[in-house]
């Protein structure tokens, strides 16, 4: 996380690829709006909201966890969680991603879901079925098992003590320019071409050492 004037000022993390790297699934135009307008907007709003408050000087993860429990900090939570969620989303994709995982992640998926095909069907069903704006996650629960989680709006599994391995943004701003109302096509293409299972496997490898919030350090 880039810091500038003080520890309380969050920066917009650099995209791990060029804006056109995920074409043709996600266009450079979508990435440009999504990253430079939506994600940047959450960062800017968060910086303004925490200035001069007890949240100032805290890490992003601390702000997410503390504001989630504070009924007077709803706006802080929404923006902090959206910054954190998007940080993970960009890292969850790669050019030439998609397909099936290998190694420890493959074994964990087969242990907890049956087959990769079973996992893919369940993940797709969860993502298509999320009624409004939200997120779909592959997470490690407190018992160390893989689960699919769905959260609405800015909500994040982080606040439940779960460790996200991968994040899929199903807000319309993530896909509408490219897929319009065809969310199912976005999800299928995301799984076929973009999801970065190597990133997920690295995150899985960190869980046993330090469970919690290692995915976006
Ligand atoms: Fe988004």
Residues 39, 86, single domain; the answer is yes
Q: Which residues surround ligand 1, an ion (CB under 5 A)?
A: 169, 171, 174
Query: Separation of 85 CA from ligand 1 center, angstroms?
Result: 8
Query: Both 189 and 144 in a single domain?
Result: yes
Q: What is the CATH number of the domain that holds 33?
A: 1.10.287.990
How many structural domains comprise the chain? 2
Q: How far is the CA of 206 from the centre of ligand 1 (A)?
A: 25
Q: Crossing angle of helices 116-129/103-113, nearest 10°?
A: 70
Does 166 reside within a domain?
A: yes
Q: What 3-state class would DSSP assign to 40?
A: helix
In three-state secondary structure terms, 122 is helix
60 and 138 together in one domain: no
Ligand 1: centre distance to CA 174 (Å): 5
Q: How far is the CA of 114 from the centre of ligand 1 (A)?
A: 30
Where a domain ends, among 66, 91, 116? 91
**What is the pLDDT, as a whole number, of residue 213?**
41
Whether residues 33 and 77 fall in one domain: yes
User: Can you say whether residue 52 is alpha, beta or left, with left for phi > 0 and alpha for psi between -120 and 50 degrees?
Assistant: left
Predicted TM-score of the model (pTM): 0.92
| The pLDDT value given to residue 210 | 55
Q: Determine the Cα–Cα distance for residues 104 and 108; give it in Å rounded to an integer.
A: 6
Please give the residue range of the domain that contains residue 32: 28-91
In angstroms, what is the span from residue 6 Cα to ligand 1's centroid? 26
- pLDDT tens digits, residue range 26-76? 999 999 999 999 999 999 999 999 999 999 999 999 999 999 999 999 999
Of the residues 91, 118, 146, the one at which a domain ends: 91
What is the whole-number distance in angstroms between the Cα of residue 124 and the centre of ligand 1? 18
């Amino acid at each position: 996380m880039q810091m500038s004037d003080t520890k309380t000022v969050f920066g917009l993390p650099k995209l791990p690829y060029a804006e056109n790297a995920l074409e043709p699934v996600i266009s450079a135009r979508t990435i440009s709006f999504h990253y430079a307008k939506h994600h940047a907007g959450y960062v800017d709003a968060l910086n303004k909201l925490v200035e001069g408050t007890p949240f100032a000087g805290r890490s992003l993860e601390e702000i997410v966890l503390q504001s989630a429990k504070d009924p007077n900090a709803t706006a802080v939570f929404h923006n902090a969680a959206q910054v954190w969620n998007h940080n993970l989303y960009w890292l969850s994709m790669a050019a030439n991603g998609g397909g099936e995982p290998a190694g420890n992640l493959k074994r964990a998926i087969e242990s907890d879901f049956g087959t990769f095909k079973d996992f893919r069907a369940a993940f797709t069903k969860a993502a298509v079925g999320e009624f409004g704006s939200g997120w779909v996650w592959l997470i490690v629960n407190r018992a160390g098992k893989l689960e699919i989680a769905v959260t609405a709006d800015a909500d994040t599994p982080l606040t439940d003590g779960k460790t996200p391995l991968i994040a899929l943004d199903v807000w319309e701003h993530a896909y509408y320019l490219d897929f319009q109302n065809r969310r199912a096509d976005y999800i299928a293409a995301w799984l076929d071409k973009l999801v970065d299972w190597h990133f997920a496997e690295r995150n899985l490898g960190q869980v046993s050492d330090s469970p919690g919030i290692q995915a976006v350090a």
